[in-house]
Amino acid sequence: MDSILVTGGNPLNGEIPIAGAKNACLTLMPATLLSEEPLTLTNAPRLSDIRTMTRLLESLGAEVTALNEGRVLAMSSHGAISTRADYDIVRKMRASILVLGPLLARFGHAEVSLPGGCSIGARPVDLHLKAMEALGAEMDLRDGYVYAKAPTGGLKGGIVDFPLVSVGATENALLAAVLAKGTTVLKNAAREPEIVDLVQCLRKMGAQIEGEGSSEITIQGVDRLHGATHGVVTDRIELGTYMLAPAICGGEVTCLGGRIELLSAFCEKLDAAGISVTEGPRGLTVARKNGRVKAVDVVTEPFPGFPTDLQAQMMALMCTAEGTSVLEEKIFENRFMHAPELMRMGARIEVQGGHATVTGVERLRGAPVMATDLRASVSLILAGLAAEGETLVSRVYHLDRGYENVEQKLSALGARIERVKEA
């Protein structure tokens, strides 16, 4: 099992390329099941989660070819497609549930294993199932599988009123509704850029959708979709992560392809903390304004609020900020598991329920730490960049699910970081 060794103390300078969004790509890939014609995605990230989704689609009978060193995914579902997504693959990744909507919409039935995923809370799929029921599907949950059947003649348009904002459920509902008969209205829909990106892709395939980016999306079902080519949107979570790198250890870094509109609430918090963010034609340039970073309070919220997927990284920054900050996690429970690991490095953190109080210290100290989930793993790397001495981050298989070439990207900016192969 690999580890990441970080030796702190170096300021970071230069440019860093930001990949296509993992969460967007994982949502776009199942859209190939909606049509017999090819769907090609460009700007795809090269990550283990993308490889897992590839294996899932291939297990269903789709063809997926990685081109241009994995940056382009050429997909086709023109052959015989199975409507059963088996546990052995689905258990590895939560996003696997997103094949439910397309299979149900195009073929009228689906058997999809309940998914696995990371350990940051229950994250139930009930909102996905209720969305399918609102489109007329009969749902049966047994033996760890979702058995879904559309009414005779296919799914019917309907009103899907989400009691809670759910990105995944909004995506699954969109993927199902585009081939449903009649009009579907999604109320209290998620507004994330990944939702907008999915709609733009589906529209290229011939879908009729209005309202993306707002809390109400209207879909007029069509009889069939055609092929398309679509570029995956910039990964705003990778973007925010690397924006924090010069904030936490000094220097000036330009994140290529970044736009403030992807992370407006996050950028506001950086400004309040004393971090300059300048948007230019090539991306976002980030640097400390002057002196030590100031403590700021953070509350995670659905888009356009502060992203839960940047909470762990922001906590790492607050560990060395001047003053005391309070981070409130309102999206997922169990998402402060990185706090005890940061405390091993000298951070002063108190966790009570969904609140973490962080009192900044002058300097963190390198220590052996363990990653507990994807975002926690990169928060420990960021902390290591600012710490005295060496930090060894173990269990970085989490990291490889969401960040490609972390060591190479940070090394190019002047960081001392390397991957250590363990026996």
Calpha distance 409→16 (Å, rounded) = 6
Residue 127 marked in a binding site: yes
Of 25, 118, 249, 255, the catalytic one is: 118
Query: For residue 265, what are the CA distances in angstroms to 245, 261, 301, 303, 375?
Result: 18, 9, 10, 9, 18
Residue with tokens 């990964």: 235
CB atoms within 10 A of CB 55: 16
Residue 289 marked in a binding site: no
Q: Which pairing describes strands 283-288 and 275-280: parallel, antiparallel, or unpaired?
A: antiparallel
Residue 326 marked in a binding site: no
Nearest to 89 by CA among 52, 34, 114: 52
Question: Omega into 124 within 30° of 0, i.e. cis?
Answer: no
Residues 338 and 376: beta-carbon distance below 8 Å: yes
Calpha distance 316→361 (Å, rounded) = 11
Calpha distance 301→306 (Å, rounded) = 6
118 is catalytic: yes
Calpha distance 171→159 (Å, rounded) = 15
- Which amino acid is located at 202 in the chain? L
Torsion sign, CA atoms 204, 165, 56, 222: negative
Q: Given 3-state DSSP classes, what are the helix, strand and coil percentages for the chain, each rounded to the nearest 5?
A: 35, 30, 40
Calpha distance 303→396 (Å, rounded) = 28
Residue 94 marked in a binding site: yes
**Structure token pair of residue 360:** 């900044």
Residues 339 and 375: beta-carbon distance below 8 Å: no
Residue 125 marked in a binding site: yes
Residue 13 marked in a binding site: no
- State whether residue 266 is helix, strand or coil: helix
DSSP 318-386: HTTSBSEEEEE--S-SS--TTHHHHHHTT-EEEEETTEEEEE--S--B--EEE--SHHHHHHHHHHHHH
Backbone φ, ψ for residue 364 (5° rounding): -85, 160
Query: For residue 38, what are the CA distances in angstroms to 46, 69, 89, 130?
Result: 20, 19, 23, 30
Binding site, residues? 22-23, 94, 123-127, 309, 331
Which residues does the annotation mark as catalytic? 118
Binding site for phosphoenolpyruvate, residues? 22-23
Binding site for UDP-N-acetyl-alpha-D-glucosamine, residues? 94, 123-127, 309, 331
